[in-house]
Amino acid sequence: MRNIAIIPIRENSKRFPGKNFYTIGDDPLFGLVGKLALKSKIFSDVYIAIEDPSKIDDYCNKNGLKVFVRSASSATDDAQTEDVLLEFVNSKFVNEKDWITLIQATCPFQSKKYFHKLSEEIDKDKFSSVMTRIKFKRFFIEEVLNENFIRSRTQDMEQRYLETGLFWSFKADRFIQKQNRIIRPVGFVEIESGDDADIDYKDDLDLILFRLNKEINS
């Protein structure tokens, strides 16, 4: 059984144009995340999915990453991530018994420890998919604004979880059936507070760079 990683990128983002190609150190954002995935050694291959491969071929060849050419229709503003996943799962690069891991290029705090936890969840042979989540104990605005809302102490609250965007992993054959990255039964990888940072806007990147520089210089 193989676990194949795919990192879909688009050449332009309306909210933050060119964010996937923004350079951090010596690597574009997609490359930084891709190299972290390779270093974990749990993936047989790490693919970068892009419409125009000429823009990343040289970098990928030098760094052990592979390129998957996605269709133009799967790279539009209206397309869902599942569109490119379906193209990839049905390609010659994937067998039905493989696991596929969707990794977000815009989440730079991926780490070997999270990928190793993913591998442990898959090895339990109990799940059809695995996703990342983070603990939180807060009230939703909708709850607070309810006139019948009764505030409790956070230590007395039932543990809650939020989905994070680091990665999702799933069985290829089950994805073909469901065409959804989350397929029950589901396993979970717990993410530490702060590591769930996701770059959607330029301000997000500024905060992440501040943290990275602080860690490098500490």
Domain extents in the chain: 3-132+165-217
User: In this predicted model, what pLDDT tens digit does every residue of 90-131 receive, in sequence order?
Assistant: 999 999 999 999 999 999 999 999 999 999 999 999 999 999
Cα separation of 156 and 172, whole Å? 40
pLDDT number for residue 33: 96
For residues 191 and 132, is the Cβ–Cβ distance under 8 A? Answer: yes
For residues 9 and 105, is the Cβ–Cβ distance under 8 A? Answer: yes
User: In this predicted model, what pLDDT tens digit does every residue of 158-175 receive, in sequence order?
Assistant: 889 999 999 999 999 999
Query: DSSP labels for 38-97?
Result: HHHT--SEEEEEES-GGGTHHHHHHHT-EEEE--SGGGSTT--HHHHHHHHHTSTT--TT
Q: Mean pLDDT in the chain?
A: 93
Cα separation of 147 and 44, whole Å? 53
Task: Tell me the pTM.
Answer: 0.93
User: In this predicted model, what pLDDT tens digit does every residue of 38-55 receive, in sequence order?
Assistant: 999 999 999 999 999 999
Token code pair at residue 10: 């688009």
Buried b (16+ CB within 10 A) or exposed e, 57-81: eebbeeeebbbbebeeebbeeebee
Token code pair at residue 15: 């909210």
pLDDT number for residue 156: 79
- Give the closest residue to 99 by CA, choosing from 171, 41, 44: 171
Q: Domain 3-132+165-217 maps to which CATH number in 3.40.50.300, 3.40.50.720, 2.40.50.100, 3.90.550.10?
A: 3.90.550.10
pLDDT number for residue 214: 66
Q: Which residue has the higher pLDDT, 202 or 49?
A: 49
* Widest CA span in the chain: 60
Q: CB under 8 Å, gap of 24 or more: what pairs does 177-186 form? A: 179/82, 179/86, 180/82, 181/81, 181/82, 181/85, 181/102, 181/129, 181/131, 182/129, 182/131, 183/128, 183/129, 184/128, 184/129, 185/126, 185/127, 185/128, 186/127, 186/128, 186/129, 186/130, 186/131
Pairing assessment for the beta strands 186-190 and 45-50 based on DSSP bridges: unpaired
CB atoms within 10 A of CB 15: 10
Token code pair at residue 46: 């790490």
pLDDT number for residue 215: 64
Any idea which of 120-124, 130-134, 152-156 has the lowest mean pLDDT? 152-156
The segment with the largest mean pLDDT, out of 22-31, 61-70, 137-146, 207-216, is 61-70
Residue 77 binned pLDDT confidence (cut-offs 50, 70, 90): confident
